[in-house]
């Protein structure tokens, strides 16, 4: 089904663009024809299905955790920031280790399978959560799985995809990831509507239903990965981590540096949901607005990655960070419900432009035989500042009000954009 849809969309683009003038439209026509002639590898499509099912499960059970903590357990915002920070930072060290192991052993699929399995077999424990300590423990275990799987999965995609299609391949994976999130949130919103109607706050009974709803898709993601993802044989390397890191040049480390600066202001998306509650959103409405965000990401990620194949990775990342800065400024000053809807849609455009382009850029900055380690470092950079970013956002919220963490995030996004413009990413 997925290949047929891919061919259909590409054919319609070709038909629409035939006869277009030279220049940018001509380039777009060539891009559409290339998509039709060169489909994505079946393993890339299978990994997309894995991401779809896994994110369906995560969005249903994990996305609502901040509301569960605040509304059901009565946890303070600062503690929620602490939990989210620890959860997101937990995976950092494991991403580095699993990336190196995927290069060292040459067994990327096995590591990805362990990671997806670990997350989806521990997630159901949230059904029994009665204190924030248990929630923290389950979130920790879930992030262990993410830390194990992320770098090997990205290296798998890079290994089996030609350089000129990597942006589209990564964008496709992120698009299906968010498509799963969209479907999960819509279904969850229906469950919440039926179980608690227009109640502004989440109830325990509703959350327990959501956890049960997340179980089967999570197990399905593991099954698809085990049965339909194939790995191309690659000789393992025997270098130490220090020697591998020494093979990564200054361009790669400069990109990691500005990425780390940006992510220091990119606190957990839980704060966006809590911000929506401050302007009067009910639990069901929060699910719907986050579903709309996921739909925007799903519709734009493949196109964003493809544009990076045509016009360059750095330009797309710069556009994404500028969008992020504007959106976070908007969240800082939002005062009406329609503001939140527009801002969430804009936030989806940031994701659509950034995810595929940045992942494809990493593959171009390092030699092929150390891509697993490079993706471990890249994903670690996205997570290493998650703890201080979320912890700081929680305290800024409590000390200076709900606008403070968003102003801080916008400022760091602008600084990181300036840094990215200044560093030379080409040899």
Q: Which of 172, 182, 159 is nearest to 362 (CA)?
A: 159
Q: Kindly indicate the confidence band of residue 10, based on its pLDDT and cuts at 50, 70 and 90.
A: very low
What's the pTM value of the predicted model, to 2 decimals?
A: 0.75
Tens of pLDDT, residue by residue over 273-290, are 889 988 888 877 887 888
Express each pLDDT in 289-314 by its tens digit. 888 888 898 888 888 888 888 877 88
Residue percentage of the chain with pLDDT more than 70: 85
**Count of alpha carbons within 13 Å of 334, Cβ hemisphere only?**
29
Distances (CA, A) of 58 to 14, 144, 182, 323: 36, 14, 11, 26
> Hey, CA dihedral for 257, 258, 262, 268, is it positive or negative?
negative
The DSSP call for residue 71 is I
Rounded to whole angstroms, how far apart are CA atoms 9 and 273? 33
Instruction: Show the tokens assigned to 337.
Output: 């419900």
Instruction: Please list, residue by residue across 373-409, b when 16 or more beta carbons sit within 10 angstroms of its beta carbon and e when fewer do.
Output: bbbbbbbbbbbbbbbebbbbbbbbbeeeebbbbbbbb
State the average pLDDT for the chain.
Answer: 82
How many helices (H) and strands (E) in the chain? Answer: 18, 0
With beta carbons less than 8 A apart as the criterion, state whether 103 and 148 touch: no
Query: For 60-113, what is each residue's pLDDT tens digit?
Result: 888 788 888 888 888 887 788 788 777 766 667 787 788 888 888 878 899 999
Residues in the chain: 427
Opening angle at CA 332, ends 62 and 187, nearest 5: 30
Give the span between the Cα atoms of 334 and 306, in whole angstroms.
33
Q: How confident is the model at residue 213 (pLDDT cuts 50, 70, 90)?
A: very high
- The residue with greater pLDDT, 271 or 3, is 271
Residue 235: burial class (beta carbons within 10 Å; 0-12, 13-18, 19+): exposed
Maximum average pLDDT range among 8-12, 13-17, 37-41, 237-241 = 37-41
């Amino acid at each position: 089904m997925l290949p047929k849809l891919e061919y259909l969309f590409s054919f319609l683009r070709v038909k629409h663009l035939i006869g277009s003038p030279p220049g940018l439209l001509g380039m777009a026509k060539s891009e559409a024809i290339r998509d039709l002639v060169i489909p994505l590898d079946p393993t890339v499509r299978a990994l997309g299905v894995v991401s779809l099912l896994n994110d369906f499960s995560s969005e249903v059970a994990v996305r609502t955790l901040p509301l569960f903590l605040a509304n059901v357990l009565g946890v303070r915002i600062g503690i929620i920031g602490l939990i989210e920070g620890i959860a997101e930072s937990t995976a950092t060290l494991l991403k580095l280790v699993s990336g190196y192991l995927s290069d060292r052993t040459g067994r990327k699929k096995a590591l990805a399978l362990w990671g997806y399995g670990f997350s989806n077999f521990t997630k159901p424990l949230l059904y029994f959560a009665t204190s924030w300590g248990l929630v923290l423990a389950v979130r920790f275990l879930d992030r262990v799985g993410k830390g194990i799987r992320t770098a090997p999965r990205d290296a798998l995609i890079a290994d089996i995809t030609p350089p000129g299609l990597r942006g589209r391949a990564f964008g496709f994976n992120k698009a299906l990831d968010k498509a799963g999130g969209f479907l999960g949130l819509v279904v969850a919103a229906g469950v919440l509507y039926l179980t608690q109607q227009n109640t502004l706050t989440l109830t325990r009974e509703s959350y327990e239903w959501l956890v049960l709803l997340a179980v089967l898709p999570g197990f399905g993601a593991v099954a698809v990965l085990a049965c339909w993802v194939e790995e191309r044989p690659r000789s393992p390397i025997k270098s130490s981590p220090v020697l591998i890191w020494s093979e990564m040049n200054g361009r790669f480390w400069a990109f990691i540096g500005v990425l780390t600066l940006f992510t220091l202001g990119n606190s957990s998306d839980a704060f966006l949901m809590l911000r929506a509650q401050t302007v009067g959103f009910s639990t069901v409405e929060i699910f719907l607005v986050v579903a709309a965000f996921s739909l925007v990401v799903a519709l734009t990620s493949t196109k964003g990655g493809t544009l990076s194949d045509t016009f360059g990775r750095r330009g797309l990342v710069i556009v994404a960070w500028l969008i992020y800065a504007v959106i976070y400024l908007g969240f800082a000053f939002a005062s009406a419900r329609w503001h939140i809807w527009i801002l969430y849609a804009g936030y989806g455009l940031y994701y659509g432009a950034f995810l595929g382009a940045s992942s494809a850029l990493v593959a171009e900055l390092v030699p092929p035989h150390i891509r697993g380690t490079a993706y471990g470092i890249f994903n670690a950079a996205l997570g290493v500042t998650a703890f201080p970013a979320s912890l700081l956002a929680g305290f800024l919220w409590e000390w200076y009000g709900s606008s403070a963490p968003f102003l801080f995030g916008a400022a760091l996004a602008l600084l990181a954009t300036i840094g990215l413009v200044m560093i030379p990413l080409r040899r």
